[in-house]
Amino acid sequence: MNAAPSSDGIDATLAVALMPYLRSSRLLIAVSGGPDSTALMHAAARLGSAHPIQVATVDHRLRAEGGDEARSVGLTARALGLSHHILTWDGDKPSRGIQAAARHARYTLLAECAGRVGADTILTGHTADDQAETVLMRLLAGSGPGGLAGMRRERDLAPGMRLARPFLDIPKADLVAYCAAHGLVSARDPSNVDERFARARLRRLMPDLAAEGLSPERLRRLAARMARDEDALRDAACAAFTALRITADAVVLDAPPLAALPDAILIRVVGLALHEAGGGGAIRLERLERLVVDGLRPALVAGTAMRRTLRGILVDLNAEGVLSLRTAPPRRSPS
């Protein structure tokens, strides 16, 4: 068994993870009050930043204790010399999919706050344990390489604003140890062990899965490999989309060369085209596969026309070998 890292070792690990952001970014740190984000806030304050650090806590208004926990974070933040903002998720809450809805609301509120305070980077305390759980959840959901890549260390939230997870390679146990070493009190979110939620159920199963070989480390390694492969596939798809686009002011592609692309690339080219045409956010892989593998690919090979609609976008392959994507016309109401 590996020995637990020393307090000095944990401090150094956190410093290495944080310094790239502290040197140049205008930071808003998302702090729930749990050990991960508390360690993130404390370590950032100790190390210092090139710009004033802002802290925000989201009160989802789902638990009576949420307001007190947010105010407690504020006291700790101010004791560290940091400005603190409490963001509330007001309004009606959905009866189903509450965790996904809360996550969407949380990032929306954080992005709005970052815009108000002039931050360009939002830091969260996601850990290596969170990454392993995310990959396992997506594996069970049948995700492709993009989903199995797990959480990315950085992603864009809005133009000029990114979300970053500096502790994504650090085990949660190290952050708990950091809090203990520095006398930091952290909150406990009961939803983390509430087995109504899939993540909590899978967290309980993790030791048994690790005993069979599906360890958190192997799940994280899978995420790294999938991220590497997904990036390569995405780059190839972007290059093909650019090369085959006929006009810049509409989503129109030269279709015959698409038939030579492997399915993995063709699916991503069509996904890019749908997004460019106004098809909204992420599209489920199964729906893209049905469109491309069952519809577009056979039509390309046979040289026949095809028309399908997905996410309000008309995908139109004509007999002349031109593939166009545009907003679908409204459906006629029955007379």
On the question of pLDDT at 333 being above 70, the answer is: no
What are the tens digits of pLDDT across the range 54-71? 999 999 998 888 899 999
On the question of pLDDT at 19 being above 70, the answer is: yes
What are the tens digits of pLDDT across the range 70-110? 999 999 999 999 999 999 999 888 888 888 899 999 999 99
**Coil, helix or strand for 69?**
helix
CA distance 70 to 106: 14
To the question of whether residue 271 is assigned a binding role by annotation, the answer is: no
Q: To 5 degrees, how large is the angle CA 257–CA 261–CA 267?
A: 110
Amino acid letter, residue 91: G
Of all residues in the chain, what percent carry a pLDDT higher than 90? Answer: 81
Query: Given the structure tokens 């965790």, which residue do they identify?
Result: 99
CA distance 229 to 246: 28
Tokens of 214: 């599906």
What are the tens digits of pLDDT across the range 153-163? 999 998 999 99
What are the tens digits of pLDDT across the range 217-248? 999 999 999 999 999 999 999 999 999 999 98
Helix, strand, coil distribution of the chain in percent, nearest 5: 55, 15, 35
Please tell me the predicted confidence (pLDDT) of residue 331.
74
CA distance 292 to 263: 8
Please tell me the predicted confidence (pLDDT) of residue 134.
95
Query: Given the structure tokens 């509120």, which residue do they identify?
Result: 109
> Is the pTM value of this prediction over 0.85?
yes
Give the single-character DSSP code of 291. I
How large is the average pLDDT for residues 285-312?
A: 95
CA distance 162 to 184: 28
DSSP E strands, the chain: 27-30, 54-59, 83-88, 121-123, 154-158, 161-164, 251-254, 306-310, 313-317, 322-327
To the question of whether residue 37 is assigned a binding role by annotation, the answer is: yes
Give the single-character DSSP code of 322. E
CA distance 167 to 175: 9
- The superfamily (CATH) of domain 7-220 is HUPs (3.40.50.620)
Amino acid letter, residue 93: K
Q: With contact defined as beta carbons under 8 Å apart, do 27 and 118 qualify?
A: no
User: Pseudo-torsion of CA 190, 193, 194, 197, nearest 10°?
Assistant: 120
Nearest CA among 220, 232, 242, 222 for reference residue 264: 232
Please tell me the predicted confidence (pLDDT) of residue 118.
97
Please tell me the predicted confidence (pLDDT) of residue 3.
54
Please tell me the predicted confidence (pLDDT) of residue 1.
46
Q: For 247, what's the count of Cα atoms within 13 Å in the CB-facing half-sphere?
A: 9
- Show the 3-state SS of 149-217: CCCCCEEEEECCEEEECCCCCCCHHHHHHHHHHCCCCCCCCHHHHCCCCHHHHHHHHHHHHHHCCCCHH
Please tell me the predicted confidence (pLDDT) of residue 60.
93
- Average pLDDT in the chain: 92
Of all residues in the chain, what percent carry a pLDDT higher than 70? Answer: 95
Within the chain, what is the greatest distance between any pair of CA atoms?
76
The neighbouring-strand residues paired with 225 are: none
What are the tens digits of pLDDT across the range 192-219? 666 777 888 888 899 999 999 999 999 9
What are the tens digits of pLDDT across the range 96-155? 888 889 999 999 999 999 999 999 999 999 999 999 999 999 999 999 999 999 999 999
